[in-house]
Amino acid sequence: EAGVVQSPRYKIIEKKQPVAFWCNPISGHNTLYWYLQNLGQGPELLIRYENEEAVDDSQLPKDRFSAERLKGVDSTLKIQPAELGDSAVYLCASSLGRGVTDTQYFGPGTRLTVL
């Protein structure tokens, strides 16, 4: 069974440029998460989807970040414009549901560097 797929793996951009990350969750997983992870820190939740509905986006900086999950499968996270402080690893995870036994499985992440 294929795992969570993310692309690109690495991205280097200049500040004020836009950037987009793509995620394909494990087949059949209804819940999708976008996390941000800084070096030496744990993941920080940006947004959680239940199918195509964003049910928890309280930590998403909505002035510059946006996300969508069309048809409840693939998802895209966008930053526009990027700032120096956005340099981090962006992780996508999926789970069958959001219950206690629904383990989150992570993709390899996209390492973003903003110059």
Partner 1 sequence: GQNIDQPTEMTATEGAIVQINCTYQTSGFNGLFWYQQHAGEAPTFLSYNVLDGLEEKGRFSSFLSRSKGYSYLLLKELQMKDSASYLCAAMDSNYQLIWGAGTKLIIKP
Task: Give yes or no for residue 98 binding partner 1 (CB under 8 A).
Answer: yes
Task: Give yes or no for residue 41 binding partner 1 (CB under 8 A).
Answer: yes
Among 5, 13, 20, 45, binds partner 1 (CB under 8 A): 45
Residues forming a β-bridge with 11: 112
Contact string (CB under 8 A) for partner 1, positions 68-97, x = contact? -----------------------x------
Distance separating alpha carbons of residues 69 and 76, to the nearest angstrom: 7
Question: Is the distance from CB of 95 to CB of 102 less than 8 angstroms?
Answer: yes
Residues 6+ apart with CB under 8 A from 110: 6, 7, 8, 9, 10, 11, 21, 89, 90
Which two structure tokens, joined as six digits, stand for 55?
A: 């049910």
Task: Give yes or no for residue 105 binding partner 1 (CB under 8 A).
Answer: yes
Which two structure tokens, joined as six digits, stand for 16?
A: 């004020």
Among 43, 46, 60, 114, binds partner 1 (CB under 8 A): 43
Q: Which among 21-29, 42-50, 62-70, 71-79 is the span making contact with partner 1, rule CB under 8 A?
A: 42-50
CB of 88 to partner 1, least distance (A): 13
Task: Give yes or no for residue 104 binding partner 1 (CB under 8 A).
Answer: yes
Distance separating alpha carbons of residues 53 and 69, to the nearest angstrom: 8
Q: Write out the residues near partner 1 by the rule CB under 8 A.
A: 4, 40-45, 48, 56, 91, 98-101, 103-109
